[in-house]
Amino acid sequence: MSPNPAKDVQVFPIAANTRVMRSRTWERLKFEIEYALQKGTTANSYLIEGDKTALIDPPGESFTEIFLAALRERIDLSQLDYLILGHLNPNRGTTIKALLELAPQLKLVCSNPGAISLRKILSETELNITVIKGEETLDLGKGHHLEFLLTPNPRYPDQLCTYDPKTQVLYTDKLFGAHVCGEQVFDEGWTVYNEDRRYYFDCLMAPHARQIEAALDKIAGKNAKIYATGHGPLVRYSLTELTLDYRAWLKNQSDRDVTVALIYASAYGNTATIAQALARGITKAGVGVESINAEFAEPEEIKAILTKASGIMVGSPTLGGHAPTQIQTALGIILANTDKTKLVGVFGSFGWSGEAIDLLESKFRNAGYSFGFEPIRVKFKPTDLILKTCEETGTDFAQALKKSQKVRKGKQGTITSESDRTEQALGRIVGSLCIVTTKFHELKGAMLASWVSQATFNPPGITVAVAKERAIESLLHLDSNFVLNILQEGKHLGLMKHFLKPFAPGEDRFIGVATEEAENGCPILTDALAYVECQIKSRLECGDHWVIYATATQGKLLQSEGITAVHHRKSGSHY
Ligand SMILES: Cc1cc2nc3c(=O)[nH]c(=O)nc-3n(C[C@H](O)[C@H](O)[C@H](O)COP(=O)(O)O)c2cc1C
């Protein structure tokens, strides 16, 4: 028998009369970008047994059967009084429907947007819903007098957090989670989750910095001792640190002077998933994102965001041959209120005809806007590869915006002679010309690197400084592998030229280049002077770069006579 079953439900007491039920999978659960690290996940549900009993957040349909079986082992379903929903999606709808068949007396508790989704998803089922509009409370008895906090954001407009003052547990839904599966219920030794938490934040929170900031302000008013998260370990030991980290990461987003307005609607989540991948690519490149869910935004809010934005992306599903009315309204606002120099991009999921994307494209083209990328048309659900391509498209779009901003600043002559002198001095630091090659879940990557240095003798180790905006996914994770291919003076130009040329998102970078597979699976460039196989041991976030420390597992000189190609520069302001 394998040590981990494919799926199970782990039940554990976490506070007085309170249990967590963690529906676990060790495999990638969904195609969405936030699951890309492939460490599995847990869908956390909670059971509070006061005089009345409440269940918070049942899992999605992949767990319906095992979850309900685990629940029935613990309680008599006819005694279940309330089902509190932190957010809704069609996936969760399947479990709710099954639960209501077994416990028709259940009263559902959710936000107003949650109630609208519920009625849409379960249109055939009779529902007894209590809508939370703000200050309502729910008394379960035995001191569990629950308080609610509405914490909407464009991705989860219905998000509702719940606080239990008796146990000081705050049920945080999507906030503070991580997609990682394991035995640990709480976060003892929490630094092991740093990477997963940061990645989860970057994917799910960074594009909604303003709204998440507002959610944290609300949460700060409660005296929580435990964050009962929707995914991954519950937060007890690192509650203060993680809250401060969220604040710092959010500040990092709101300080960005170049931003993209990402406006979309999505009835079934597919266009939202594409939007999220684009957003991840944009924020990774150091450009801010202001997402707007057109269904829930006021015209004034859209106008305010457009004024600040340097670029605009609009995404829409096609429903009944049209774009939803809210998208048409948003489009009208954009066309009437923005100048045509702003770079635009359009995207959307469709089933068979995709008129909404045609509409967006033609309106922008006719008005004279420039496109940062060709319209993205995705049939139904995007695949993993499509989402990776969207992420790269987002990064390219952000880089184009930054470049145009730099040109404008350059023209204004902002560089002082003092910084000029510093840059000239810094430019005298030289580095070896190398190509870093990677392989991450079958996707091969490559980047030119010259800020490379040996860092330790024992173990033999190196550092590479990687620009955040160019960081290949696998270079961001501990224990990932790469190969450092050190180029040979006199033979380096061909390889440099090849890897410096712009590649389309998702394009194979290795066509026409001689390679062999290293022991660690990454490509070796056989025309290099030498190569070293490396494994990432730590990384340091430094301004606009990540400094990566890696140990050398093995290496080989490929040309015994050659010398290393070295990069000489005039200024420290570029490579
Ligand atoms: C009621 C309904 C009407 C639809 N009409 C169209 C259509 O006219 N043309 C089309 O290409 N796809 C159509 N579709 C397919 C959707 O565009 C497709 O499911 C898409 O993935 C939805 O994107 P979303 O998840 O972002 O809402 C329709 C789907 C539904 C449920």
The conformation of residue 63, written as its DSSP 8-state character, comes to: G
User: Does residue 319's CB lie within 6 angstroms of at least one atom of ligand 1?
Assistant: yes
| CB of 315 closer than 6 angstroms to any ligand 1 atom | no
C-alpha to C-alpha distance for 482 and 449, rounded to whole angstroms: 12
Ligand 1 and 141: CB distance under 6 A: no
269 lines ligand 1 (CB under 6 A): yes
Question: 397 alpha carbon to ligand 1 midpoint, in Å?
Answer: 27
Residue 2 has pLDDT above 70, yes or no: no
User: 317 CB under 6 A from ligand 1?
Assistant: yes
ipTM (interface pTM): 0.97
Ligand 1 centroid–CA 317 distance in Å is 6
Question: 312 pairs with which residues across the strands?
Answer: 261, 344
Residue 4 banded pLDDT, cuts 50, 70, 90: low
Q: How far apart are CA 129 and CA 85, in angstroms?
A: 11
Residue type (1 letter), 140: L
Rounded to an integer, what distance in angstroms lies between the CA atom of residue 432 and that of residue 242?
A: 38
The pLDDT tens digits of the residues spanning 265-280 come to 999 899 999 999 999 9
The model's pLDDT over 209-230, given as tens digits with 9 standing for 90+, comes to 999 999 999 999 999 999 999 9
What is the Cα–Cα distance from 522 to 298, expressed in whole angstroms? 49
* Distance (Å, whole) CA 524 – CA 321: 50
The token pair at 569 is 């520069």
Distance CA 464, CA 136 (A): 53
List the residue whose alpha carbon is closest to atom 27 of ligand 1. Answer: 267
Residues in the chain: 575
Q: How far is the CA of 271 from the centre of ligand 1 (A)?
A: 10
Whose CA is closest to 92, among 219, 229, 269, 256? 269
Minimal-distance CA residue to ligand 1 atom 29 = 319
Ligand 1 neighbour 499 (Cβ under 6 A): no
Q: Is the minimum distance from the CB of 457 to ligand 1 under 6 angstroms?
A: no
CB of 318 closer than 6 angstroms to any ligand 1 atom: yes
Question: What confidence score (pLDDT) does residue 232 get?
Answer: 97
C-alpha closest to that of 181 among 339, 27, 377 = 27
Query: Cα separation of 146 and 137, whole Å?
Result: 5
Centroid of ligand 1 to alpha carbon of 290 (angstroms): 25
Q: Is 271 in the pocket of ligand 1 (CB under 6 A)?
A: yes
* Mutation test residue for ligand 1: of 32, 350, 360, 390, the one with most atoms within 8 Å of CB: 350
213's CB contacts (< 8 A; 6+ apart) are: 247, 250, 254
More confident residue, 383 or 475: 383
Q: Is 90 in the pocket of ligand 1 (CB under 6 A)?
A: no
Atom of ligand 1 nearest to the CA of 379: 21
Closest residue to atom 3 of ligand 1, CA basis: 319
Exposure string for 363-398, b = 16+ CB within 10 A, e = fewer:
bbeeeebeebbebbbbeebbebebbbbbbbbbbbbb
Per-residue exposure over 87-103, b if at least 16 CB sit within 10 Å of its own CB, e if not: bbbebbbbbbebbbeeb
Task: Please report the atom of ligand 1 found closest to the CA of residue 265.
Answer: 26
Residue 184 has pLDDT above 50, yes or no: yes
- pLDDT of 131 reads 97
pLDDT at 196 over 70: yes
Ligand 1 atom 4 nearest Cα: 319
% pLDDT > 90, the chain: 79
Which atom belonging to ligand 1 lies closest to the Cα atom of 381? 21
CA of 99 to the centre of ligand 1 (A): 28
Which protein residue has the closest C-alpha to ligand 1 atom 2?
A: 319
Question: What pLDDT score does 224 carry?
Answer: 97
Distance between CA 299 and CA 286 in Å, rounded?
27
- Residue among 472, 468, 435, 464 nearest 547 (CA): 464
Q: Which atom of ligand 1 is nearest to the CA of 354?
A: 11
Tens digits of residue pLDDT in 408-420: 665 554 545 777 7
Q: Is the CB of 353 under 6 A from ligand 1?
A: yes
Q: Which of 31, 89, 319 to mutate to test the pocket of ligand 1 (most atoms within 8 A of CB)?
A: 319
Residue 156: what residue type?
A: Y
Q: Is 349 in the pocket of ligand 1 (CB under 6 A)?
A: yes
Helix, strand, or coil here: 66?
helix
Report helix, strand or coil for 22: strand
C-beta 351 within 6 A of ligand 1: yes
Please give the helix or strand (H or E) that residue 255 lies within, else none. none
Measured in Å, residue 270 CA sits from the centre of ligand 1 at: 10
Per-residue pLDDT reduced to its tens digit, 334-377: 999 998 999 999 999 999 999 999 999 999 999 999 999 999 99
Strand partners, 350: 379
Token pair in block for residue 228: 């009962």
State how far the alpha carbon of 437 is from the alpha carbons of 441, 462, 510, 565, in Å: 14, 15, 10, 17
Statement: residue 64 has pLDDT above 70: yes
Closest C-alpha among 317, 437, 436, 425 to residue 380: 317
pLDDT the model gives residue 1? 41
Task: Report which residue type is found at 427.
Answer: G
Buried b (16+ CB within 10 A) or exposed e, 265-276: bbeebbbbbbbb
Ligand 1 in contact with 321 (CB < 6 A)?
yes
Q: What is residue 29's predicted lDDT score, i.e. its pLDDT?
A: 75
441-487, pLDDT tens digit by residue?
A: 778 889 999 999 999 999 999 999 998 877 777 777 888 999 999 99
Q: For ligand 1, atom 17, which residue shows the shortest CA distance? A: 350
- pLDDT attached to residue 3: 55
Pair 472, 447: CB distance under 8 Å = yes
Q: What domains can you pick out in the chain, each with its CATH number?
A: 7-249 (3.60.15.10), 256-410 (3.40.50.360), 428-567 (2.30.110.10)
Query: What does the H/E/C string look like for 297-327?
Result: CCHHHHHHHHHHCCEEEEECCCECCECCHHH
In DSSP terms, 170 is beta-bridged to 163, 227
Which H/E stretch holds residue 25? Answer: strand 18-25
